[in-house]
Amino acid sequence: MFVHFFHELKKANVPVSLREYLMLLEAMDSDIIERRVEDFYYLSRAALVKDERNLDKFDQVFGHVFKGLDLINEGQTAEIPEEWLRKLTEKFLNEEEKAQIEALGGWEKIMETLQKRLEEQKKRHEGGNKWIGTGGTSPFGAYGYNPEGVRIGQKEGRHGKAVKVWDKREYKNLDDSVELGTRNIKVALRRLRKFAREGAPTELDLDDTIKSTAHHGYLDIKMVPERRNKINLLVFFDIGGSMDSHIKLCEELFSAARTEFKNMEYFYFHNCLYEGLWKDNRRRHNEKMQTWDVLHKFPADYKVIFVGDATMSPYEITYAGGSVEHWNEEPGGLWLERVAQIYESCVWLNPVAEKHWEYTPSLQIIKQIIGDRMYPLTLEGLDKAMRELSR
């Protein structure tokens, strides 16, 4: 049973080692916990998970192994943004109902009603736990839907009555690691790592020099290699829209690279950089931060990487109000210029094959703004980009 559990965790990419497994067995042998499944859940979690980003994966595997629950694949559930739900409501409720709900008062009630609707829908699809969004109207249409995976509103308790702790998926938002897929990207990462570690001259170790001098009675200079992880990185990901097919690739790169740098910060934008950025795409509509604040916060010695296809209508770059999502006071191009001005080291990685570049005007504009430092998201392109960043 435990061995199975252990293997399932490994399969779900929770990095568990034999050492931890033995630690858990040892813990089971001593009388730390009572014979409650919750206690076992807590104990195994404390022994096997060492990073909050893996807690959600752990919860899913636990539920799956110990309750025979269906494991939900990443990508099959989506946190559903409130905005989309609002839109959906319009679709689901007829005028009469809408009026009723107005009368009932407020969004909260609407939410509850909506959730009931969705549950009914699920039942009707006999055993089907997938539910496909309304054709084309929602960016989430392609994702399956699982009511348990959806959190509506902020207070968890309301919907979580009978749900087991691990089924609450409380740590979902902490999982920022995406499983590495293609071989290609692994090699790319190795190169990224190399970049992070290169350029390490030696520096004087004052403490050791003094110590050694004191020992020997003559001046004995000691050198140490410079600390490895000196590089500070700021990454901006284009998310949504025409970028969707590339998001996965980008996030793999990003999730695997983060430990290699002294500091690595990432932000999301959509199509072009504007006055607002966000860190959690599921909450992009609620938790935007000021681009200015970001630019002020991170010093000019940060190296900047944009990842995006730079494919859009040119208006989205050159005109105020050109953004497809909101009213932007200043053109996106101006924001890109600002970044390029503040951060000397700056590159753009583009997943679009280079041969298509010349046919996309918006791409050309951005390439120009960024000082021609746009590279395709290939091994070679990555190498070139990193070389550019280490100059």
Partner 1 sequence: MKFEGTKNYVATEDLRVAVNASITLQRPLLIKGEPGTGKTVLAEEVAKALDAELITWNIKSTTKAHQGLYEYDAVTRLRDSQLGDERVKDIRNYISKGKLWESFERDKRPVLLIDEIDKADIEFPNDLLQELDRMEFYVYETNETIKARVRPIVIITSNNEKELPDAFLRRCFFHYIKFPDEDTMRAIIDVHFPGLKGKLVQEALNIFYEIREVPGLKKKPSTSELIDWLKLLLSEDISPETLREKDPSKLIPPLHGALLKNEQDVHLFERLAFLARRERN
Closest CA to 344 of 389, 310, 386: 389
Task: Check binding of 170 to partner 1 (CB under 8 A).
Answer: yes
Task: Check binding of 202 to partner 1 (CB under 8 A).
Answer: no
Of 15 and 199, nearer to partner 1 (C-beta) is 15
- 20: Cβ contacts below 8 Å, ≥ 6 apart: 47, 48, 50
Of 23 and 93, nearer to partner 1 (C-beta) is 23
Q: Closest approach of Cβ 325 to partner 1, in Å?
A: 16
Which of 202, 259, 341, 390 is close enough to bind partner 1 by CB under 8 A? 259
Of 175 and 309, nearer to partner 1 (C-beta) is 175
Cα 258 to chain centroid distance, Å, stands at 11
Give the binding range for partner 1 (CB under 8 A) out of 74-82, 145-153, 211-219, 246-254. 211-219
Task: Check binding of 326 to partner 1 (CB under 8 A).
Answer: no
Task: Check binding of 226 to partner 1 (CB under 8 A).
Answer: no
Q: Closest approach of Cβ 72 to partner 1, in Å?
A: 21
Task: Check binding of 17 to partner 1 (CB under 8 A).
Answer: yes
Task: Check binding of 355 to partner 1 (CB under 8 A).
Answer: no
Task: Check binding of 20 to partner 1 (CB under 8 A).
Answer: yes
Which of 150, 289, 342, 379 is close enough to bind partner 1 by CB under 8 A? 289
How many residues interact with partner 1 (rule CB under 8 A)? 47
Residues 41-80 interacting with partner 1 (rule: CB under 8 A): 42-43, 45-47, 49-52, 55
Residues 24-43 interacting with partner 1 (rule: CB under 8 A): 26-27, 30, 32-33, 38-39, 42-43
Which of 4, 35, 124, 155 is close enough to bind partner 1 by CB under 8 A? 155
Task: Check binding of 182 to partner 1 (CB under 8 A).
Answer: no
Interacting residues with partner 1 (CB under 8 A) = 15, 17, 19-20, 23, 26-27, 30, 32-33, 38-39, 42-43, 45-47, 49-52, 55, 154-157, 165, 170-171, 174, 210-211, 213-215, 217, 227, 229, 258-259, 283, 286-290, 293
